Amino acid sequence: MADKKIIAVVGATGAQGSGLVRAILSDPSGGFVARALTRDVNSDKAKELSKLGAEVVAADVYDEESLKLAFKGAYGVYCVTFFWAHFSPEKEMADGIFKKGREYAGKTVGIAGEHLTGARMAASFTAALGQEVRYKEVSPEVYRSFGFPGAEDLGNMFQFKRDFEQVFCGARNLEVARALNPALQTFDKWLARNKSRIPLE
Ligand SMILES: NC(=O)c1ccc[n+]([C@@H]2O[C@H](COP(=O)([O-])OP(=O)(O)OC[C@H]3O[C@@H](n4cnc5c(N)ncnc54)[C@H](OP(=O)(O)O)[C@@H]3O)[C@@H](O)[C@H]2O)c1
């Protein structure tokens, strides 16, 4: 245990972070251990991660001192930010969570699954769910006009992915990701396992 490299995971109880924590824990010979950061070490999700073998530590990305402690001795950090909690670009920049990750710990890590088009995903949904799922292209510009909280942010994300597809996909090398984590699922495999959780009308 002591010779293992620590990966500190921000948002460890959430959808993104918990996937990484579980992947690290399910690979005991991988040379890494997971340190799960959470604001509430007593929540059910935090306790579950602790039971699975993660080191669970209290941290809030808006509390710099807590981050310093949580990142201490870590070999790498996995960071997510919480833009949707406040919708403020200024706060997002001020957080500097990625900068702090480098400053207090060391390197950063990331994973990638598969590069699929919307049409290809719709075809997979259709096959898995047994009812037609159609892909309808909505331009980022139109998306921004929908007006619901976060529509602008999502429109920006889709624009970035459309206009800088090669940069975005190029930085997420699937072969490297699969070599690092052979258990990484394809979309079809994930769908086969999880289709019963998708509510159908
Ligand atoms: N899920 C996706 O498909 C997806 C796709 C693209 C982008 N993202 C982005 O990725 C980020 C995380 O998404 P998610 O889906 O994993 O979110 P999530 O399931 O809501 O989980 C976020 C986790 O972050 C923790 N958290 C929230 N505020 C925090 C704070 N101030 N300090 C420390 N931890 C805090 C919470 O843990 P505790 O309550 O235990 O502290 C929560 O479990 C978001 O910015 C989201 O917009 C998500």
167, two tokens: 């940069």
Beta strands at 5-9 and 55-58: parallel, antiparallel or unpaired: unpaired
Q: Residue 129 and residue 198: Cα distance in Å, rounded?
A: 9
Q: What's the pLDDT score for residue 109?
A: 33
- 141 near 155, Cβ under 8 Å? yes
Phi/psi for 167 (5° steps) reads -65, -45
Q: Residue 10 and residue 116: Cα distance in Å, rounded?
A: 26
> Any residues with CB less than 8 A from the CB of 103 and at least 6 apart, and which?
none
**Residue nearest (by alpha carbon) to ligand 1 atom 15:** 15
**Residue nearest (by alpha carbon) to ligand 1 atom 33:** 60
Q: What is the dihedral of CA 47, 52, 54, 57, to 10 degrees?
A: 0
Q: What's the pLDDT score for residue 14?
A: 95
Cβ of 82 below 6 Å from ligand 1: yes
Q: What's the pLDDT score for residue 108?
A: 38
Cβ of 80 below 6 Å from ligand 1: yes
Sorted by where each starts, the structural domains of the chain and their CATH numbers stand as 1-108 (3.40.50.720), 111-201 (3.90.25.10)
Q: Which of 80, 116, 190 to mutate to test the pocket of ligand 1 (most atoms within 8 A of CB)?
A: 80
| Coil vs helix vs strand at 114 | coil
Phi/psi for 59 (5° steps) reads -160, 150
In tens digits, the chain (201 residues) has pLDDT values of 568 999 999 999 999 999 999 989 988 888 999 999 999 999 999 999 999 999 999 998 888 888 889 989 999 888 888 888 888 877 776 655 655 555 554 433 333 457 788 899 999 999 999 999 999 999 999 999 999 999 999 999 999 999 999 998 888 888 888 887 777 888 898 899 999 999 887
Cβ of 40 below 6 Å from ligand 1: yes
Q: What's the pLDDT score for residue 146?
A: 95
Q: What's the pLDDT score for residue 96?
A: 58
